[in-house]
Amino acid sequence: MVVNLSKRATVIVSALVVWVLATLPGALAQTTNATCLSTYAFLYNSRGQSPCLVAAYAGGVCDGGPYDVDALDVGTHYAGPPAAKVNNCQCSSVFYSLLSACGLCQNRTIIPWSSWDTNCKNVFVTVYPEDIPSSTAIPAWAYVNVSTSDIFDLNNARTLQGSAESTASLNKVTQTGAGAENPTGGVNGAKNKSSNTGAIAGGVGGGVVVIALIGLLASFLIRQRNDKLRNVIAPRQQYLAAHMHAPGPEMQSFTGGSHGVDGGVGYAGARGQQQQSTGGTLTSMSSQKLYNPNDASTFPGPFTPPTPLPPYRQSPQLGGGTLAAAGTYRGVPEV
């Protein structure tokens, strides 16, 4: 019973942990099969992730599920978001820069920023509008303002190589270098920062609630297990206590005497009689007075010599026989 409760508690807690992890932003699987050439190693972040994988993480936040960045065939490029599936992540210049870097590191072509944001209703320049997944870090060069040149520039990436990155705990809303300007039509950094703060606070609050529920569930299961143990142990303790105080055979034979099954006095009865006899002797001795020189009643009585025993006479039947060994019986020869 206890083992089953423990297994049930483990399964429930594991399921809750999996659910919490699955609901965190960016927790779903993000993949890419695109491979960058070795000459573009400066585009990788500090975690060793290619711009293609970082773009998959950045795009998956708004997509609400697994996000894949496929490798480009020769003569192809990454296109802007279609009108039917446009979202804030794809309409960010940060995502555009990451995906453009992914195309260039495969030795493929890229399109201008003005062609990329054609279907975007809200354009986010030098700003990533959502909270960055905890599994990645966005390089500083992805925040460079591309609206001035209308194209992603690899030279900016080389220049900013090794600069501070943006992570889940530090979403970079202040632009670097040429991106210090907030162009018309974009969403300003103050609004984005407030949005990210609200998302983080909501996530922390949800995590606290889930942890509290897990604690309550664990406490309930432990209390239920303890109740089961008490229900099993208590009857055994009562049984042992009752039999420990019950009078045994020797006590019964001492108080009233008992007989064996065959009607004779058994071992317990004989021992009881012996105890009674001993008790009588002790009682008789305790009733006598101690010797007192001033009390004549305590003086010893006259000495009575013991009666002499009759002289020993040898039996005539044993006169000519021989003693047998101990534990045996031997007859004598017939006359």
Print burial letters for 286-313: b (CB count within 10 Å at least 16), e (below 16): eeeeeeeeeeeeeeeeeeeeeeeeeeee
What ranges in 245-331 are assigned the alpha helix state H?
A: 249-255, 267-287
pLDDT of 250-262, one tens digit each? 444 434 444 444 4
Residue 233 counted as domain residue: no
Beta bridge partners of 273: none
Task: Specify the DSSP class assigned to residue 67.
Answer: E
Tell me, yes or no, whether 220 lies in a domain.
Answer: no
* Choice among 9-18, 86-95, 171-180 with the minimum mean pLDDT: 171-180
pLDDT(183) > 80: no
Q: How far apart are CA 88 and CA 63, in angstroms?
A: 10
Asked whether residue 161 is assigned to any structural domain, the reply reads: yes
Q: What is the pLDDT of residues 66-80, one digit of tens each?
A: 899 999 999 999 999
pLDDT > 90: percent of the chain: 39
Residue 12 inside a domain? The answer is no
Residue of higher predicted confidence among 221 and 208: 221
Q: What distance in Å separates the CA atoms of residue 124 and residue 122, rounded to the nearest whole number?
A: 7
- pLDDT of 216 reads 81
pLDDT tens, 279-291?
Answer: 444 444 545 677 6
Q: Say if pTM beats, i.e. exceeds, 0.75.
A: no
Radius of gyration of the chain (CA): 51
Residue 143 pLDDT greater than 90, yes or no: yes
Does 155 reside within a domain? yes
In a domain, 332, yes or no: no
- Higher local confidence (pLDDT), 300 or 196: 300
pLDDT of residue 218: 81
Residue 60 lies in a domain: yes
pLDDT for the residue numbered 326: 40
Number of domains in the chain: 1
Residues with Cβ < 8 Å from 50, sequence gap 6 or more? 32, 34, 35, 36, 43, 44, 102, 105
Higher pLDDT, 54 or 311: 54
Coil, strand, or helix at residue 30?
Answer: strand
At residue 53, the pLDDT reads 97
DSSP state at residue 31: E
Residue 135 one-letter amino acid: S
Segment 317-331 shows an average pLDDT of 40
For 150, the domain range is 29-188
Predicted pLDDT at 9: 53
